[in-house]
Structure 1
Amino acid sequence: MRVLHLNSGLLFGGGLERIIVDLMLKNRATENYLCIINNQWDEKCLEGIDRERILLCNRKIGGKNPILTLSIIYKIYKFIKRNNINIIHCHNSFALKFGYVLKRIIGVKVILTVHDTNAYYKELNRYPVDKYIAISKSVYNIISEYVSTQKIGLIYNGVDLGHYSNQIKDLDKKKTRVNISCVARIMPEKKGQDILIKALNVLKTKYNYNEFKCTFAGAIHDPKSMDHLNELIRKLNLKDNIEFVGNVENIEKVYGDTDIFVLPSRYEGFGLVVVEALASGCSVIVSKLDGPLEIIKEDEEHGLHFEKENYKELAYKLNKLINDPIYYNQYKNNKKTQEYLKREYSLENMIERYNKVYRAL
């Protein structure tokens, strides 16, 4: 099998991008190729990939020149023919449109992985392909409203669990500071960093707890959103408690220093960072959204949840973890959770499940 992974961009730090790179580098059973349509890519993401297997189209964002679009389609067409590629694996709606056209032109098989619950579902009927992959049950359920379930598969995103060492983290009387972290693109309209900041203010003012440091790791999506977050931090007098560190290459080091990991998203298809944090032995709190809940379970077997937007409930959960060691020890570095992650969310399992889909096309 020869598979072309097709996406609009490949920027460092995103969960979707990590999945593409892992499939390129670690799927030994498939010959993988990569095409990035737009000029949004990082050299760091391409490290280790054979450059002969990469096609960078470098289309400018916002360009609407139909002749340029046709030239890019022709360029991808020649790349497919030259490398005898028989499957295109699209990873977002922009790539889907190109994949659909190429399917019509040369009859190549096309699959689409849908990575989010706030997505482009109506386009699934407009640009039909051979197979759709949902990354969570919630995404699966939404896709099934537009596409026959016979054409939908469910494959959870996987993590290279060996990257994340399980460090014992203990909140006891000797600990002088609790480390909280949020790993997500700085995009509060989706990822909810402002919700966590408000919760930290409640933790400080209502629960009188100030011995914490919260690290936000992730690229800035929009400078205006960053300005808003900084103004909120200034207003709430939390400057000494919060740090933004941008994209972190060795993100496992952030998890290794983390006692409590929080993903306060407003919407989320899955939440790969939740798996990473659990694999690193962190206690985890997530918004009560279908994607993250599939990981931690609604009965809070593997982590805690709070109602979306409810920063006061998030503050309550943070305070309880910090001040109740017995409660905290239910979730930190849990052996049952580690076994569960290996069974459901290992990178090896994800790759094998994709290979089964490729072979069946």
Structure 2
Amino acid sequence: MKIANVFLGKTLGGIEQAFLDYTQALRLKGYDVVDFVHKDGLLKDKIPLEVRKRELPFRKRSPVTFYYLFQTVKSEKPDLILVHYKNSLGMFRLIGKISGIPVVGVAHNPKTKHIIKSDFIFSITEYQRRIFIEAGYPSDRIFVVPNMIDADEPFKAFDGFQNPPVIGAIGRFDPMKGFDTFVEALGILKKKGIKFRAKIAGAANKSYEDFYKKVLDLISQNHLEEDIELSGWTDDKKSFYEGLDIFVMPSNFEPFGIVVLEALKYSRPTVSSTAEGPLEIFSGTDAAVMFEKGNAKALADALEKLLSDLPLAAKCAEKGWHLLKERYDLRTSGAATLDKAVSSVFKQLGKA
């Protein structure tokens, strides 16, 4: 079966990584995959050479864009279209209707406005699936397909903290990501005399310049200028994670959290907020120390707990790595879950 995997945004981030992971997982399961990407986007240079891609223009509600997309679908003749970019979903839904090709909306967040127009939905969490069902979408056409990563790193037993310990977080400077809570928690640790160094990898775009300034102000107010390194975006994820003693996911809202999986991949002890995605990942496990989202004191307490208990840190690292391998490994469980969802769609369509 041939599948068109579609992302027509221009930026790079968690959704874009999920798109690339879908391509790899589908190919592992024997599907013929063609990637549709924006001709001016950063993603087009991340597509592996062995993967066929179509570089396309995209402007919302543009007749010219619709023409190019329609002609591309007509020439490729896919059996299924997977759309990761909500702004293009409407066009592909119409193209699919005209061409008789089913369209799957891959739901990377719980917003219902565009996604419920899809023929089928792949939801990254059970939490989102329930939201779509409550919005009236048929339950038999929604499949939970968690995000996945290539878990190709061997487990490394955690044998001690650096002096001082290094605590890190990664993501864009968006209020949802909770970096203000993270900085406030570090300020509490400093006031208690607990030594540490901290790293935040990420950057702010123009939409979030005010939040970035807020984080800088909090760093100054808590006298953390010498304690926190703002390193910007990094392409060397391995060096970033392996340089940490503790990884923190401080998000106030997080549909999933691929960076959590990355931390588990590198056997990092993890502290996570109770945001929607991480809560579902870690529920019923001992793979992370959790804290109430948005609560700086609770985060500081969680960090202090982990810093003062080496066996607990080692246990979190080991259980987290095994959790990743069992549920979210692209090459095994992740690819199998995606394949099952795709096969279920084809079965409902009578193409199995």
State TM-score, norm by structure 2.
0.89
- Is structure 2 residue 215 aligned with structure 1 residue 214? no
Q: In the alignment, is the contact (CA less than 8 A) between 1:57 and 1:72 conserved in 2?
A: yes
Q: Deviations over 1:163-217 (max 9, x none)?
A: x443333335xx4111111122221x11111110000000101x211x3111111
Q: Deviations over 1:71-113 (max 9, x none)?
A: 1111011111212222110113212212212122212110011
Q: In the alignment, is the contact (CA less than 8 A) between 2:107 and 2:115 conserved in 1?
A: no
- For residue 350 of structure 2, what is the aligned residue in structure 1? none
3-state SS of 2:316 partner: coil
Unpaired runs of 5+ in structure 2? 347-352
Give the Cα–Cα distance (whole angstroms) in 2 for the partners of residues 122 and 273 of structure 1.
Answer: 26
3-state SS of 1:220 partner: coil
Of the three residues 174, 181, 185, the one matched with 2:168 is 181
Give the Cα–Cα distance (whole angstroms) in 2 for the partners of residues 26 and 307 of structure 1.
Answer: 34
Q: Deviations over 1:232-288 (max 9, x none)?
A: 211211111111222211212211111111111111111111122112111111111
Give the Cα–Cα distance (whole angstroms) in 2 for the partners of residues 90 and 26 of structure 1.
Answer: 16
- For residue 343 of structure 1, what is the aligned residue in structure 2? 326
- For residue 22 of structure 1, what is the aligned residue in structure 2? 21
How much has 1:224 moved relative to structure 2? 2.9
3-state SS of 1:216 partner: strand
Give the Cα–Cα distance (whole angstroms) in 2 for the partners of residues 248 and 131 of structure 1.
Answer: 35
1:21 partner letter? L
3-state SS of 2:188 partner: helix
Q: Alpha carbon RMSD of aligned pairs, Å?
A: 2.1
Give the Cα–Cα distance (whole angstroms) in 2 for the partners of residues 165 and 179 of structure 1.
Answer: 21
Of the three residues 95, 118, 126, the one matched with 1:137 is 126
Q: How many residues align?
A: 339
- Is structure 2 residue 97 aligned with structure 1 residue 97? no
State TM-score, norm by structure 1.
0.87
Task: Give percent identity, aligned residues only.
Answer: 25
Give the Cα–Cα distance (whole angstroms) in 2 for the partners of residues 243 and 329 of structure 1.
Answer: 25
Give the Cα–Cα distance (whole angstroms) in 2 for the partners of residues 183 and 357 of structure 1.
Answer: 30
Structure-2 change in CA distance of 1:10 and 1:165 (3 Å): farther
- Is structure 2 residue 36 aligned with structure 1 residue 45? no
Give the Cα–Cα distance (whole angstroms) in 2 for the partners of residues 44 and 319 of structure 1.
Answer: 42
Of the three residues 116, 122, 136, the one matched with 2:113 is 122
Deviating above 6 A after TM superposition, structure 1's stretches of 4 or more consecutive aligned residues are none
3-state SS of 2:267 partner: coil
How much has 1:58 moved relative to structure 2? 4.8
